[in-house]
Structure 1
Amino acid sequence: MQTLSTTTDTPFNRQIQVIRRDGSLTLLDVSRIRAVVNWACEGLDANPITLEAGLTTRLKNGVTTREIQDNLIGCALELCSPSDPDWRYVAGRLHIWNLWKDTLVSRGYQYEDYCQTVTSKVKSGQYDARLLKYTPDQLREAGSWINPQWDKDYDYAGAVLLTKRYLLPEELPQEALLSCALLLAVVEAPEKRMFWAQKFYKAIALRQISLATPILANLRIPNGSLSSCFIIGMDDNLENIFDTIKDAARISKNGGGVGVNVSRIRATGSWVMGKPNASGGVIPWIKLLNDTAIAVNQGGRRAGAITVSLDVWHLDILEFLEMQTENGDQRRKAYDIFPQLVISDEFMRRVRNCENWTLIDPYEVRVKLGIELSELWGEEFESAYQKIEASLDYELKLYKRINARELFKNIMRSQVETGMPYLWFKDTSNAANPNQHEGYIPGGNLCQESWSNVKPGELAHTCNLNSLNLSNLDWQDLPNICEIAVRILDNTIEITHPPFQASIDHNQRYRTIGVGVMGLADWLAKRRFSYSHLQEISNLFEDIGFYCTKTSMELSKERGAYPAFAGSSWSQGKLIGAKPVDWFLTHADDKQRWKELSEDIQKYGIRNSHITAIAPNTSSSLVQGCTASVLPCYSRFFYDKWAKGTVPIAPPFIKENFWFYPENKTLDQQIVVKAVATMQQWIDTGISMELMFNLNQGVYFPEEPARSLKAKDIFDTLMAAWEQGCKAIYYVRTVQRDSFQESEDACTACAN
């Protein structure tokens, strides 16, 4: 092997010809390689000489510049470790250097002519023609905002994901982000358009705000759908069933995550056209949704993603829990959907008290008792359910009695084995719904953080998401960044192309958005806080909730309230989570501002019915260079397996704050539940809360090395999540022999 010479010109060097990216030949010039290495290491705790020494590509005639560059990347990745984490940024910069050089060869320039980039991409159909609402002079001014040095901020995982998943052919990172910002500002008044475009661009380019995958991937292309989350309801008739499947396909085509509630569908053995024992139940329709997710593969990027929700009282619930197991009739299996249980408070109380629970057929209850049980929650549900149980054997024939705790054990067993079903707490979520005057929420979305009213065939929940990157924000940044985040999403509603009419109608009627956060673990580590600092966490999320809500009120002054505002809890002076203002005067750290905000909302209205929702951000956080969502990092440092090998993953401040990053794989999940419950008070929709249980001995009980986690410990944690007001439980992960690894593609259909 030939390593770099310490001199720039030797007889050996003069004998080697290198193939450049355009195919031409040139003599090897070691000084050029050294210049790239120095550039990649600049400002980092990484010695360029160490990287030079690791270059092992055979420097022979015909070696390509890409081979040399790829070998440098491989060397940098091998040098990365918990004590030397900056090498992942060196590898990221070298990856970006490749992109810069490829772009220069293919189109003849890099960042020098943004106006030309826009003009040519609009002409070729790659860019949305609405970019030409900006004059050439405005496009040239916008191009002057670009700082190519911001491309150097990505580590290797972020750089690869950004280029692979989001960039168009012959497009550079800052061009993509600037084009998104310009399009997001296109609905602003002409005299304010450039002002807001620049604010949007800087917040996005400095990675203070992360755009959800559908926005970042689809915004620049013509007729792109920008919404992340959808929920549709399936009614109990053939026409609506197939309309729902078609709508799910349309959503999946555009990269959205789909939630489908099937609780209205009659159970197995129910009546069809007056014939008893004719219905096949919910499973055959779920199987069709399963196959739709596979067939409509989001433009070839990945398989579709659909979560199917079923109320826990449905007679098919036991088969629903078994539909992803290997045994049984394979014709009644659905391995590619994500099952979700809709859980009532009454069920959880019976689980706690070890009481019986009744499974019923919604069709029989509808026909014989006139009750549409799927629409009910809270006291109305409890009253109707008591009436149903009093009618057993007299009017109702199709039912099953089961111990509630035994059913919950079946649910837990499935979660430990497969990570699912998700649990969505119906009463908690509907009690916080500001639009109770117009309907109810049937279930959660794909990532268990966003939902609102749904009416089968009429209104499909549609939500647009972004996230604040707390790792790059200080407390004083929050008012400005929250304002920008809310304004971006409200503008998104105006420029998106929803995939079907019920989505269009919902978007306009409720104007649902979800400002989330990522990098909480980084924010805490920088301040030497832990997940047990509940007051500090509460203060942070109080500020986020306040500033986002206030911005939506200010937008209502400017643009008008959302159409369903009259009669909503907002119009009654209630605030986040439909809570009365007195709650805020008791629980808030800064009380008076909430009273004033309540009065302002009653006077001026509010622009968006739902404003905050915290998505999982598993992949987006890699691009943003921070920890995912609000959860602790899985591990302080690990290698993730990708198609081209292993990639080092670590939080951004790991070197200086190593011990202040708790590892979720060994953290008591009761701590996580308490922290999420604290945040949930200030978040008006939901939080994607994964729970991770380590099944190895001695992890949680160092005084008892032989003791491992028991089923009761997991049971107590799930019960605590419900009792403390969490709205949903996303995946339940388990760690065995430290074998768990995060997947690069986890939940890429929704916010990621």
Structure 2
Amino acid sequence: MSVQSEAGGRLAAAGDTPSTVHVIRRNGDVSAFDPAKISTALAKAWLAVEGAEAGASSRVREVVAELTGQVELALMRHAGPERPLHIEQIQDQVELALMRDGHHKVARAYVLYREEHAKAREVEPQAAPSRPAISVRRPDGTVEPLDAGRLELVITEACAGLEAVSAAAVLTETRRNLYDGITAEELTLAPVMAARTMVENDPNYSLVSARLLLDKARAEALSYLAGQARTASHAEMTGLYPGYFAEFVAKGIELGQLEPELGTFDLARLGAALLPDGDLRFQFLGLQTLYDRYLLHHAGTRYELPQAFFMRVAMGLALREDDRDARAIEFYTLLSSFDFMCSTPTLFNSGTTRPQLSSCFLTTVDDDLTSIFHGISNNALLSKYAGGLGNDWTPVRGIGAHIKGTNGSSQGVVPFLKIANDTAVAVNQGGKRKGAVCAYLETWHVDIEEFLDLRKNTGDDRRRTHDMNTANWVPDEFLRRVRADGQWTLFSPDEVPELHDSYGNVFAQRYREYEAAADRGEIKVYRRVKAKDLWRRMLTMLFETGHPWITFKDPCNLRSPQQHSGVVHSSNLCTEITLNTTVDEVAVCNLGSINLAQHVTPEGIDHARLERTVRTAVRMLDNVIDVNFYTIPEARRSNLRHRPVGMGLMGFQDALYTLRLPMSSQEAVEFADRSMEEISYYAISASTDLAEQRGRYESFEGSLWSQGILPIDSIQLLADARGADLEMDRSSTLDWDSLRERVRTVGMRNSNVMAIAPTATIANICGVGQSIEPLYRNLYVKSNMSGDFTVVNPDLVRDLKRLGLWDELMISDLKYYDGSLGSISRVPAELKALYATAFEVDSSWLVEAGSRRQKWIDQAQSLNLYIAQPSGRKLDAIYQLAWLRGLKTTYYLRSQSATHVEKSTLRGTDGKLNAVSPVAVPVPEAPVACSITDPDCEACQ
């Protein structure tokens, strides 16, 4: 009798049908899934908290029934006859449902009950499994005994060299998930899932999970290239990587996925330069993200491994270099060390046959149907290859404006925004990530009030854009009217054509002249509102829907190095790019980010390392422009003429941990200043060196650079226009005079050099905090397109271990208090300050640090603001402070719901993954502002 037949016979004897979902118990026995047992467990939890009367309560029975249904639905999403459940997964979902529904006392009782029984199992012998030895079913249908020795070897190797992890514990948990007839795929995933459930106990289990996932990736890639089943441990792969790399490149070219020119590199030299131990750097979230969305695959099978991936990207960026092999190794070393990471489009497409490497595109839509639909078509083409879009819609005439061609009246800009929204949904970048676009409208546009309502969930759905981001493009004159409690006039752009292309004092003068013309009856479509009323409504919608974001037109233009060649009409999808656009030129920016955490020691910034990183990174970004695949001619024309790049940073919060500086401190503000000053200095210097080697960018003459006006100097231009309405620190520490003169005489290779993007996914890959963000939570579930992931702050865990405070109670308390230390009395005050979470940090500190960075940046920064208990007064104060401090843009306003964010058991909640697919309920978006569980800009990074 076959193993499958034996297993089927046991299940049939239990009364199961072939379609029954099975449950693996802790001793290895298999039984049928029974929802009634979930109801019983929930009822017992209520009895433990509320007493016997709870059993007779109709309210409790209704809640139990509802939660049972939720748990069953979540479990059935991924379970099936071939995908049995483990008893721990079911209990995790029960705990998750209780917390998500706000029944925290009951959930706590349930957690304690589970912990007590878990401890009892550790000391009590387990019943032997009532089943035969485990056999594994291969894809071709053959069956072979489990190779227990290799399973133990892989787990032991994954735990090697890591503190506070137990290979024995992972092996024991893995064996609990095995059953007779398990598929080879399930066997590969079992140890990954086992290690992942332990991440909340110690962050090092995230490294263990990643290394176990690497075992799956190695087997997948090696088997594909060999045409037969092959496996390799990490130690074995060290010797195999060079030969594998040459095979990988050949296969990629054969499949038509890699640029054939990659085959002309010295593959033996590059293969020998690979650093296999770099694979051990990955946290589980980073590697899973890389596996799901970045590694090359054919017919769903990944044949690219991480170090080959980094070298492939490096080779793609070195294609036009004189010494291609040396430069490829230099670029690879920077990427694989996590010192610097290119943006997602570059990682997706570098070295491929369609190298669309640019991150952000900014467009202006003109006021005629041809231009409007050409702009929407451009959106689709740009989005197809992973570009994030910012559209300037201000020129499109407003509701009620006259249409000469039809002698009718315009319906305004909103119907066209609806089409742009649906286009972004339809073109989803090949399933790798959502298409993403942001529409910008100036505050004087007559449709501005309808624009504010675009993200509302009520009203006429034909005039809503639920999937598109929106942003206000706010002139200084409007803020002056708000502060003076004055009137504000809304116009249709076809009657006030000069407003779109003017800024600063010129805009203010022309705006007042148009107001006078309206008073004389010379303008037909206009409306007067109180500036404060419109401002309040802008802030109200920002709080309620997360949109439109607040961005400031005048500082973006007055401090732009490219004033001589046009106007900045909008920012991009993530509000960090400020480049000129016209109907004929689509602005393009090429992004990458320095991992600041890698360049800081407890003594301060590692200056030499930071300079090396910046110089190499600027060269890589400049190369993007020349090797890039341009999907539309307007983008090619603009990028080759101006050559802008956007050097940003990530890991700022991690750097503060290393320096022991709380985010809410003047010292952190000073560090933001000094670190950005160094990055700015090295980046500008590197672009000047490239200009000396390769030539200036085409439109250099007439720029602020050509006049010796650097970003720090351009603050005066804004101050001249603003007067007293600007409060920016202008201190500096480096030798800017000599650099200023070198820039003026030698020139710049790039019109723009710096922009701080959100770094959502690349920060995940590098295992650091994104961009300049404060820590979201010390322990939480992070959600993105690859699934849901347990995240634990490793720096905090190290400190708590040092004080003897890291235990089950601390883990339970962190869950209960949403990952915050504030209410946990036994934690010292200095740790509470250092590890304060985003909603515990007053946003004024974020604005102050942002202002210090902004003085050094020629573009802008994606700056999220967090308010735990929002009020109209607080919102007004923080956004007026951002304006006064000279910020060019702001990004999301993050607010907490009344009941806070999702509370999770974390254990086993790492949702739907391509490589690892346990059972979980997707994390919902927070009910206000935006998805707090995933504060990511997926389009740029």
TM-score, reference length from structure 2: 0.73
Aligned positions of 1:500-649 closer than 5 A: 500-531=632-663, 532=665, 533=667, 534-576=669-711, 579=714, 587-591=730-734, 593-641=735-783, 646-649=788-791
Instruction: Tell me: CA distance 1:41–1:204, structure 2 relative to 1, closer, same or farther (3 Å).
Output: same
Cross-structure match for 1:698: none
TM-superposed CA distance for 1:130, in Å, is: 2.5
CA distance in 1, matches of 2:364, 2:453: 22
TM-superposed CA distance for 1:577, in Å, is: 5.8
TM-superposed CA distance for 1:323, in Å, is: 2.3
Letter in 2 for 1:712: R
Letter in 2 for 1:694: A
Which of 319, 322, 327 does residue 186 from structure 1 map onto? 319
Instruction: Tell me: CA distance 1:15–1:398, structure 2 relative to 1, closer, same or farther (3 Å).
Output: closer
SS at 2:496 equivalent? helix
Residues 257, 352 of structure 2: 8 Å contact kept: yes
**Within the alignment, does 1:405 sit opposite 2:532 as a pair?**
yes
Instruction: Tell me: CA distance 1:56–1:337, structure 2 relative to 1, closer, same or farther (3 Å).
Output: same
Which of 843, 854, 879 does residue 680 from structure 1 map onto? 854
Cross-structure match for 1:246: 377
> Unaligned 5+ residue runs, structure 1?
367-371, 696-708
Which of 861, 871, 882 does residue 710 from structure 1 map onto? 871
- Per-residue CA deviation, residues 8-33 of structure 1 (Å, 9 max, x unaligned), is xx999994433457765443343322
Cross-structure match for 1:369: none
Letter in 2 for 1:536: F
- Per-residue CA deviation, residues 672-701 of structure 1 (Å, 9 max, x unaligned), is 111111111112111001112112xxxxxx
Residues 552, 888 of structure 2: 8 Å contact kept: yes
The range that moved more, 283-292 or 329-338, is 329-338
TM-superposed CA distance for 1:450, in Å, is: 0.9
RMSD over aligned Cα atoms: 2.5
Cross-structure match for 2:150: 32
Residues 57, 71 of structure 1: 8 Å contact kept: no
Letter in 1 for 2:858: D
Which of 541, 548, 559 does residue 421 from structure 1 map onto? 548
Cross-structure match for 1:690: 864
Letter in 1 for 2:512: Q
CA distance in 1, matches of 2:843, 2:461: 36
Letter in 2 for 1:332: R
Cross-structure match for 2:936: 746
CA distance in 1, matches of 2:488, 2:155: 67
Cross-structure match for 1:162: 290
* Percent of matched pairs sharing the same residue: 32
Cross-structure match for 2:889: 728
The range that moved more, 281-290 or 527-536, is 527-536
CA distance in 2, matches of 1:727, 1:467: 20
- Per-residue CA deviation, residues 368-422 of structure 1 (Å, 9 max, x unaligned), is xxxx211110011011011011112311121111111111111111111111111
Residues 253, 298 of structure 1: 8 Å contact kept: yes
CA distance in 2, matches of 1:99, 1:199: 26
Residues 573, 581 of structure 1: 8 Å contact kept: no
Residues 360, 398 of structure 1: 8 Å contact kept: yes
TM-superposed CA distance for 1:588, in Å, is: 4.7
Residues 650, 768 of structure 2: 8 Å contact kept: yes
Cross-structure match for 2:207: 89
Instruction: Tell me: CA distance 1:578–1:505, structure 2 relative to 1, closer, same or farther (3 Å).
Output: farther
Letter in 1 for 2:277: Q
CA distance in 1, matches of 2:405, 2:375: 24
Cross-structure match for 1:704: none
SS at 1:55 equivalent? helix
Letter in 2 for 1:461: A
Letter in 2 for 1:212: S
TM-superposed CA distance for 1:211, in Å, is: 1.2
The range that moved more, 223-232 or 68-77, is 68-77
SS at 1:726 equivalent? coil
Instruction: Tell me: CA distance 1:22–1:485, structure 2 relative to 1, closer, same or farther (3 Å).
Output: farther
CA distance in 2, matches of 1:144, 1:21: 34
- Per-residue CA deviation, residues 153-173 of structure 1 (Å, 9 max, x unaligned), is 111111110010101111111
Letter in 2 for 1:423: I
Residues 55, 75 of structure 1: 8 Å contact kept: yes
CA distance in 1, matches of 2:130, 2:538: 68
Residues 255, 298 of structure 1: 8 Å contact kept: yes
Cross-structure match for 1:43: 161
SS at 1:247 equivalent? helix
SS at 2:389 equivalent? strand
Instruction: Tell me: CA distance 1:23–1:114, structure 2 relative to 1, closer, same or farther (3 Å).
Output: farther
TM-superposed CA distance for 1:520, in Å, is: 0.3
Residues 130, 183 of structure 1: 8 Å contact kept: no
**Within the alignment, does 1:301 sit opposite 2:435 as a pair?**
no
Residues 265, 281 of structure 1: 8 Å contact kept: yes
TM-superposed CA distance for 1:280, in Å, is: 1.0
- Per-residue CA deviation, residues 206-236 of structure 1 (Å, 9 max, x unaligned), is 1111111100011132122111000110111
Residues 715, 855 of structure 2: 8 Å contact kept: no
CA distance in 2, matches of 1:641, 1:339: 23
TM-superposed CA distance for 1:745, in Å, is: 8.3
CA distance in 1, matches of 2:757, 2:880: 22
CA distance in 2, matches of 1:748, 1:630: 16
**Within the alignment, does 1:214 sit opposite 2:345 as a pair?**
yes
**Within the alignment, does 1:391 sit opposite 2:517 as a pair?**
yes
- Per-residue CA deviation, residues 246-298 of structure 1 (Å, 9 max, x unaligned), is 11111111110111111111111011017766111111221121121122221
SS at 1:464 equivalent? strand
TM-superposed CA distance for 1:643, in Å, is: 7.6
**Within the alignment, does 1:483 sit opposite 2:615 as a pair?**
yes
Cross-structure match for 1:172: 305
Instruction: Tell me: CA distance 1:540–1:60, structure 2 relative to 1, closer, same or farther (3 Å).
Output: closer
Cross-structure match for 1:141: 269
SS at 1:655 equivalent? helix
Instruction: Tell me: CA distance 1:581–1:601, structure 2 relative to 1, closer, same or farther (3 Å).
Output: farther
Letter in 2 for 1:715: D
**Within the alignment, does 1:270 sit opposite 2:397 as a pair?**
no
Cross-structure match for 1:67: 186
- Per-residue CA deviation, residues 298-355 of structure 1 (Å, 9 max, x unaligned), is 1233432111100000000001111222333332222221111100111111112221
Cross-structure match for 2:410: 279
CA distance in 2, matches of 1:501, 1:578: 34
CA distance in 1, matches of 2:159, 2:445: 60
Cross-structure match for 1:669: 843
Q: Give the number of equivalent residue pairs.
A: 719
TM-superposed CA distance for 1:656, in Å, is: 2.9
Cross-structure match for 1:361: 492
SS at 2:696 equivalent? coil
SS at 1:729 equivalent? coil
Letter in 1 for 2:860: G
Residues 542, 588 of structure 1: 8 Å contact kept: no
CA distance in 1, matches of 2:383, 2:786: 27
**Within the alignment, does 1:470 sit opposite 2:596 as a pair?**
yes
SS at 1:400 equivalent? strand
- Per-residue CA deviation, residues 495-546 of structure 1 (Å, 9 max, x unaligned), is 0011111100110111010011000000111111123222222111110000
CA distance in 2, matches of 1:14, 1:327: 59
TM-score, reference length from structure 1: 0.91
Cross-structure match for 1:495: 627
Residues 231, 260 of structure 1: 8 Å contact kept: yes
SS at 2:567 equivalent? coil
Residues 79, 87 of structure 1: 8 Å contact kept: yes
CA distance in 2, matches of 1:291, 1:645: 24
